[in-house]
């Protein structure tokens, strides 16, 4: 098979990112871009982000997860702690997040350290989820092989019966991680491949250094 994509070409013309417009704290630029995407390009699924971990086999692996909260401290998502990503994070908490918002021709890459959030925060979020999502979090032994879809559906039906008109407790293998950032790269596509890239690095004094990077 051969599919030559050499003539797939696009001119990026939707915006600019200048050093003079960058705040001291990259979370503020993240928030500004997040709001803009949410308002003008919601079809980009603004809170979908790619999480890359270093696996136990030494290979990086990336997958999409949903950002559920962000603060100056970091980025929170929820998952199964015993999944492949959970095991990877336990061994190596250094991870990378990336957002690609093609409507605005923007990318943000964030390196950081992942840690479990406190249990009562995970409890609060779990409680807020629809019952179907609560049950599927319990049913899915995420990342493990299963015999068939029917096995999963049967397990779900059994659990539905078991918890009928009862509160569903959060299983201790499911909860949130916070990624505490140490570096950001903001990328804004520009014409003629002269894209804007602004990098932030967390310094020892907890201030952020800012630099323009070659595209």
Ligand X SMILES: Cc1cc2nc3c(=O)[nH]c(=O)nc-3n(C[C@H](O)[C@H](O)[C@H](O)COP(=O)(O)O)c2cc1C
| 144 near ligand X, rule: CB under 6 A | no
**Could you tell me the CA-to-CA distances from 46 to 4, 39, 41, 116 in Å, in that order?**
31, 10, 8, 23
Backbone angles phi, psi at 54, to 5 degrees: -100, 115
The residue among 59 and 206 lying less far from ligand X, judged by its C-beta, is 59
The stretch among 74-82, 124-132, 155-163, 188-196 that binds ligand X (CB under 6 A) is: 74-82
Residue that is written with structure tokens 């499911």 in the block:
174
* Two structure tokens written together for 205: 């004094």
Q: Which helix (H) or strand (E) holds 13?
A: none
| 152 near ligand X, rule: CB under 6 A | no
The stretch among 61-69, 117-125, 163-171, 201-209 that binds ligand X (CB under 6 A) is: 61-69
Q: Which of 16, 64, 146, 213 binds ligand X (CB under 6 A)?
A: 64
How many residues of this chain interact with ligand X, rule: CB under 6 A? 14
Annotated catalytic residue 106: no
Q: C-alpha 81: how far from its chain's center? A: 15
| 63 near ligand X, rule: CB under 6 A | yes
Which residues within the stretch 156-195 sit at the binding site for ligand X (CB under 6 A)?
Answer: none
**Could you tell me the CA-to-CA distances from 87 to 17, 66, 91, 169, 185 in Å, in that order?**
37, 19, 6, 23, 27
Q: Nearest distance from residue 93's CB to ligand X, in Å?
A: 15
Binding site for ligand X (CB under 6 A): 48, 61, 63-66, 77-79, 83-85, 142-143
The set of catalytic residues is 193
């Amino acid at each position: 098979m051969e599919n030559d994509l050499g003539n797939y070409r696009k001119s990026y013309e939707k915006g600019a990112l200048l050093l003079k417009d960058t705040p001291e704290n990259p979370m503020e630029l993240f928030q500004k871009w997040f709001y803009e995407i949410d308002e003008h390009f919601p079809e980009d699924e603004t809170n979908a982000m790619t999480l890359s971990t270093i696996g136990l086999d030494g290979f990086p692996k990336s997958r999409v997860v949903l950002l559920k909260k962000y603060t100056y401290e970091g980025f929170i998502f929820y998952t199964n702690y015993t999944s492949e990503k959970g095991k990877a994070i336990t061994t190596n908490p250094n991870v990378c997040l990336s957002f690609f918002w093609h409507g605005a021709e923007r990318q943000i890459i964030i390196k950081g350290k992942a840690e479990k959030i406190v249990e009562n925060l995970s409890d609060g979020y779990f409680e807020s989820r629809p019952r179907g999502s609560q049950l599927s979090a319990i049913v899915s032994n995420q990342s493990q092989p299963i015999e068939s879809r029917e096995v999963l559906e049967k397990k779900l039906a059994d659990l539905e019966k078991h918890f009928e008109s009862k509160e569903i407790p959060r299983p201790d293998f499911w909860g949130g991680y916070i990624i505490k950032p140490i570096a950001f790269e903001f990328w804004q596509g520009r014409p003629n491949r002269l894209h804007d890239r602004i990098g932030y690095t967390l310094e020892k004094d907890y201030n952020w250094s800012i630099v323009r990077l070659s595209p």
